[in-house]
């Protein structure tokens, strides 16, 4: 597969997703990183985006709920180069009816070479990296076949 370079700008687009049992954890994490997150554009699946916006005052573009296609909407944006970071607080102990969508979202994030945090510790590492507020050149699949 041929690859080309894509620049993630200083002002990142950060996607926020959290399963029901992880929403409180994500909200607590967002509140802790509120000032830093305010420097970026936030997009989230339906309920997660609403909760983050309502409880922190941060502006979050809301997509559909995960089970209703929100995970796929975020995946499509990643493939278009319109999402730079995925913060997906998922619950590995609870079966999800839309598990294939979750797997597809994580797969597309890896294919398109964006940072992915599936838990608080990894999200902390991403937010503490100097690259979160700097341009970053990533290697992504070429549009050629």
| 83 pLDDT above the threshold of 70 | yes
Q: What is the CATH number of domain 19-128?
A: 3.40.50.1380
Q: What are phi and psi of 16, to 5 degrees?
A: -115, 125
Tens-digit pLDDT profile for residues 125-134: 999 999 999 9
Tens-digit pLDDT profile for residues 44-62: 999 999 999 999 999 999 9
pLDDT at 79: 95
Catalytic hit among 20, 54, 71, 84: 71
Q: Is 71 a catalytic residue?
A: yes
What angle (nearest 5°) sits at the alpha carbon of residue 32, between those of residues 29 and 38? Answer: 100
The answer to whether the CB of 129 falls within 8 A of the CB of 14 is no
Alpha helix segments (H runs only) across 6-79: 23-32, 34-37, 46-56, 70-79
């Amino acid at each position: 597969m041929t690859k080309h370079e894509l620049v993630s700008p200083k002002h990142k687009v950060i996607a926020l997703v959290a399963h029901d049992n992880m929403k409180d954890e994500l909200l607590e994490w967002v509140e802790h990183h509120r000032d830093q997150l305010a420097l970026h554009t936030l997009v989230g699946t339906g309920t997660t985006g609403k909760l983050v916006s309502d409880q922190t005052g941060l502006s979050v573009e809301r997509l559909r709920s995960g089970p209703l296609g929100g995970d796929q909407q975020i995946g499509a944006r990643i493939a278009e180069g319109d999402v730079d970071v995925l913060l997906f607080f998922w619950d590995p102990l609870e079966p999800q009816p839309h598990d294939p969508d979750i797997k597809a979202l994580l797969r597309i994030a890896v294919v398109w070479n964006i940072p992915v945090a599936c838990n608080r510790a990894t999200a902390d590492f991403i937010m503490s990296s100097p690259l979160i507020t700097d341009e970053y050149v990533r290697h992504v699949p070429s549009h050629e076949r």
